[in-house]
Amino acid sequence: MEPAPEGPGFQIEDGHTVRWAGWEFHLKADARAGLVVSGATVQDPATGARREVMYKGMASELFVPYMDPTEAWYFKTYMDAGEYGFGLQAMPLVPLNDCPRHARYMDGVFVAADGRPYVRENMICVFERYAGDIAWRHSESPITGMDVSSTPLPHTHTYPPPCYV
């Protein structure tokens, strides 16, 4: 979806503050937490006053235990994510692959092991989109020194799947 002829309906101020449709929030890429949304406010249409909606939110605040909660399964808390450096696992976004032509990009500033800051470009993109399509991308970490093979097996699916309430 291309933006309106007059441009996108959002503005980015100070490099990280997004204003859109009565909303205002700050975006930042964090080495531990990943994407951090903070200072989110919305303008009350009845009074015109700004209402605070969220002080700070991040994906690393989620915790979803997988399988057995014992120590042997602890490593299965993949993207529940503060302990693994969720932001450091992020890859730079590729224009026209990850984000549309009209996206605006933000860099992430991180701290190296020696304490020096460094910049990773295109860590966040902001754009307006039609809400009826998917918004994800899959990636794998490279595994070296190992041969991996797979054999495809035929599968039969019956749709719709059963629902359990």
What sign does the dihedral 49-42-126-2 (CA atoms) show? negative
pLDDT grade for 164, boundaries at 50, 70 and 90? very low
Give me the residues paired with residue 29 across strands: 35
Helices H / strands E in the chain, number of each:
1, 7
108, part of any domain: no
On whether residue 114 sits in a domain, the answer given is no
Residue 126 is assigned to a structural domain of this protein: no
pTM value is: 0.66
Q: Is 124 inside a domain boundary?
A: no
The one-character DSSP state at 9 is S
DSSP secondary structure letters along 14-45: TTTEEEETTEEEEEEEETTTEEEEEEEEEE-T
**Smallest Cα–Cα separation from 31: which of 107, 119, 111, 106?**
111
> What range defines the domain where residue 81 resides?
10-91
State the total domains in the chain.
1
Domain presence at residue 140: no
Q: What is the pLDDT of residues 91-150, one digit of tens each?
A: 899 998 888 888 899 999 999 889 999 999 999 999 887 666 655 555 666 656 655 544
Residue 57 host element (H or E): strand 50-58
In a domain, 98, yes or no: no
Q: Say if strands 104-111 and 17-20 run parallel, antiparallel, or are unpaired.
A: unpaired
- Condensed to tens digits (0 to 9), the pLDDT of residues 50-89 reads 999 999 998 766 666 566 667 776 666 555 555 566 777 7
Q: Is residue 118 situated within a structural domain?
A: no
In a domain, 18, yes or no: yes
Q: How far apart are CA 17 and CA 39, in angstroms?
A: 9
